[in-house]
Amino acid sequence: MSFMKLKAISILLTVINFINNNNKKSGQWWQSLHRTMLRGVLGKTFRLVGYTIQYGCIAHCAFEYVGGVVMCSGPSMEPTIQNSDIVFAENLSRHFYGIQRGDIVIAKSPSDPKSNICKRVIRLEGDKILTNSPSDFFKSRSYVPMGHVWLEGDNLQNSTDSRYYGPIPYGLIRGRIFFKISKNVSLIQLLQPCLYPGNI
């Protein structure tokens, strides 16, 4: 084999070795870049999930234990609360058994747990029931059972309340209405506990 051929083969092997080394470095560089990008994306994703869970928990605790804004619908609490009035319901009172006679509350409907009702607390547990209930069943019950409250709407002629479905468990109360904003935002009114004349 001539000297020229050996030199050509040596140069060819050098070139192949150079290409292989560059390919390895290029592959390592690409893998490093890929890992860095993946870590960045995963890190951002995990941080986003963490923030979402954190703020979700804060929002849940705020609505569950502090209160929230509710829009009332229906005529059962007129004239105190009109249809489409916006009210703020605080939830601390129900957790500390601070509900009083005359308070207006938001509660889960005993006949439809998926919906809420807005009524006034007329009787507490142990209070004597004084009502002209259309149901004969409640005429035989003289007192509100323990752990229950008696609710009625201020508009007695147009309210489905405890006169129809009886006392409701205290646990169904979601919050006590603290103040209202009228639908045209012309009036912000603090609501104090009281018994509406028709409920006394």
Asked whether residue 72 carries a pLDDT value surpassing 80, the answer given is yes
Task: List phi, psi (to 5°) of 57.
Answer: -65, -40
Asked whether residue 200 carries a pLDDT value surpassing 50, the answer given is no
Distance CA 160, CA 107 (A): 13
pLDDT tens-digit readout, 37-53: 666 666 677 677 776 77
Cis preceding linkage at 75, omega within 30: no
- How is residue 76 written in tokens? 């059962």
Q: Is 147 left (phi over 0), alpha (psi -120 to 50) or beta?
A: left
For residue 92, the model assigns a pLDDT of 78
For residue 122, the model assigns a pLDDT of 93
Q: How far is CA 157 from the centre of its chain?
A: 32
- How is residue 173 written in tokens? 């109360």
pLDDT tens-digit readout, 102-128: 999 999 999 888 889 999 999 999 998
For residue 17, the model assigns a pLDDT of 60
pLDDT: which is higher, 35 or 82: 82
Mean of pLDDT over the chain? 73
| DSSP H or E run through 34 | helix 3-61
Task: List phi, psi (to 5°) of 147.
Answer: 75, 15
Asked whether residue 177 carries a pLDDT value surpassing 80, the answer given is yes
What is the sign of the dihedral through the CA atoms of 129, 131, 134 and 136? positive
**119 DSSP β-pair partners:** 105
Distance CA 116, CA 122 (A): 18
pLDDT tens-digit readout, 131-166: 665 555 555 567 899 999 999 999 999 999 998 888
Give the residue numbers marked as catalytic: 76, 119
User: What mean pLDDT do residues 164-178 have?
Assistant: 90
Q: Is 87 left (phi over 0), alpha (psi -120 to 50) or beta?
A: beta
